[in-house]
Amino acid sequence: MSGVQAVWPSGTECIAKYNFHGTADQDLSFSKGDVLTIISVTKDPNWYKARNKVGREGIIPANYVQKREGVKAGIKLSLMPWFHGKITREQAERLLYPPETGLFLVRESTNYPGDYTLCVSCEGKVEHYRIIYSSSKLSIDEEVYFENLMQLVEHYTSDADGLCTRLIKPKVMEGTVAAQDEFSRSGWSLNMKELKLLQTIGKGEFGDVMLGDYHGNKVAVKGIKNDATAQAFLAEASVMTQLRHSNLVQMLGVIVEEKGGLYIVTEYMAKGSLVDYLRSRGRSVLGGDCLLKFSLDVCEAMEYLEANNFVHRDLAARNVLVSEDNIAKVSDFGLTKEASSTQDTGKLPVKWTAPEALREKKFSTKSDVWSFGILLWEIYSFGRVPYPRIPLKDVVPRVEKGYKMEAPDGCPQIVYEVMKKCWNLDPTHRPSFLQLREQLEHIKASELYL
């Protein structure tokens, strides 16, 4: 190892860069791609005591593993860092200077709106190839067709196939970072060869969710094929690298394929979404202790997001998953942003979103608290849709006049009081998630939920 490295604290996550076959009894063998958690440093700083995913512990060599970090906040990850958008022919030529054969970029065509142009530096001058878009496919020579720009670039990277040169070096757009490079640097890149896709288990907003096998463990895999949605999906993946809590669905890694496929691999939650779980089990199976436990699980995850200045924006029972051992975990970070940013409200779930978020696009931890109140109502009504019997168009006007849903049948009054506090029209008067957790723990300790 070069120099003395900083000692990694207990709890640090690492990913294996190589296979390690231990020779001594106390060694912990592992395969490339395995995720390991540091327990402590040994007398020799080049060796750590660590634990693997199935709980086995042993000694590992520090230079065989890479510490995992969160993806840097504030950088723009791109699956197409060579794509420069609307720039002119002259701007493209300036960017590809000084000349270097095989240096390339893609821009939107100025002469043919809707088409693209591949600009390649070759023996001192720049060639511009029009990329024709027809029948949802892309082509330069109208012989070979591609689904998206990433496939096209990949093809001409491996073979010139009629161009003046093969594509050798992308001219990266200023301010962007290639997603694959950043996930590798921070220790989140997994290898597609080590993942087996078994069956489709659900549909997400961006694509199918599959059950997979990674190194012998069941995992859930969200797969995206389309470049535009994949780009939006990167934001979710980078948020998930920064979040770590036992009540948040844990991301295991990301696979970025050359041809533009993107996969997020997360822990597998065997019992599916909380809303389906509540509906299918019902009152006869789930007692008050169980409902309160789910409420606390979600509240603890949200208290962690609150402490780390993240706003979820889409908290609802459909976005909470239940594990094999009945632990509820918050998932779906597609809308999660660092606090204070605004967003387009076109796709927001009206019945779960706080009035000020719908009206002024003001999202905060306090708007998440409103949604948590709705989620509590979902839990105690065993998965009913909120605001029953009120037409969707009437929900917001009534809520803004102060209307609050009645308590679900059988819901303890003390829990209903917590819901109502979450639905205060003034966000500053809503409790924090820390206060909510303390209230729910008091209800649990005093057995007031029975």
SS3 310: strand
CATH topology of domain 191-267: Phosphorylase Kinase; domain 1 (3.30.200)
3-state secondary structure at position 273: strand
Measured between alpha carbons, how far is residue 303 from residues 240, 330, 334, 428 in Å? 16, 12, 19, 17
**Residue 177: beta bridge partners?**
77
CATH code 3.30.505.10 region(s) in the chain: 83-170
Q: Is 361 annotated as a binding residue?
A: no
Q: Which of 382, 430, 432, 424 is nearest to 402 (CA)?
A: 424
CATH class of 83-170: alpha beta
- Residue 186, pLDDT score: 92
Residue ranges matching CATH 2.30.30.40 in the chain = 12-66
Residues of the chain with CATH 1.10.510.10: 273-446
Q: Are 265 and 35 spatial neighbours (Cβ–Cβ below 8 Å)? A: no
- If one counts every other C-beta atom within 10 angstroms of the C-beta of residue 256, the result is 25
Task: Give the closest residue to 408 by CA, choosing from 302, 271, 291.
Answer: 291
Which pLDDT does position 341 carry in this prediction?
Answer: 43
Comparing CA positions, the residue from 397, 379, 311, 317 lying closest to residue 349 is 317
pLDDT tens across the length of the chain (450 residues)? 344 567 899 999 999 999 999 999 999 999 988 899 999 999 998 999 999 988 999 999 999 999 999 887 777 888 889 999 999 999 999 999 999 999 999 999 988 888 899 999 999 999 999 999 888 899 999 999 998 888 899 999 999 999 999 999 999 999 888 888 899 889 999 988 889 999 998 876 667 889 999 988 899 998 876 666 677 778 778 888 988 899 999 999 999 887 667 889 999 999 999 999 999 998 999 999 999 999 999 999 999 999 998 999 999 999 999 999 999 999 987 655 554 444 454 567 899 999 999 998 889 999 999 999 999 999 999 999 999 999 999 999 999 999 999 999 999 999 999 999 999 999 999 999 999 999 999 999 998 766
Kind of pairing, strands 13-16 and 65-67? antiparallel
Which pair of tokens denotes residue 203? 């549909």
Pick the CATH number of 12-66 from 2.30.30.40, 3.65.10.10, 3.40.50.10470, 1.10.2020.10: 2.30.30.40
Active centre residues (catalytic): 314
Cα angle, residue 102 at apex, residues 97 and 105 outer, rounded to 5°: 65
Whole-number pLDDT of residue 280? 96
CATH 3.30.200.20, the chain: domain bounds: 191-267
What pLDDT is attached to residue 2? 44
In sequence order, what are the beta bridge partners of 116?
108, 131
DSSP string, 58-90: EEEEGGGEEE--PPPTT-EEES-TTB--S--HH
Write the CA distances from 383 to 276, 380, 402, integer angstroms.
7, 8, 24
pTM check: above 0.85:
no
DSSP H helical ranges for 241-317: 274-281, 288-307
pLDDT at 114: 81
Say what the pLDDT of residue 244 is: 87
Q: Which CATH architecture has domain 273-446?
A: Orthogonal Bundle (1.10)
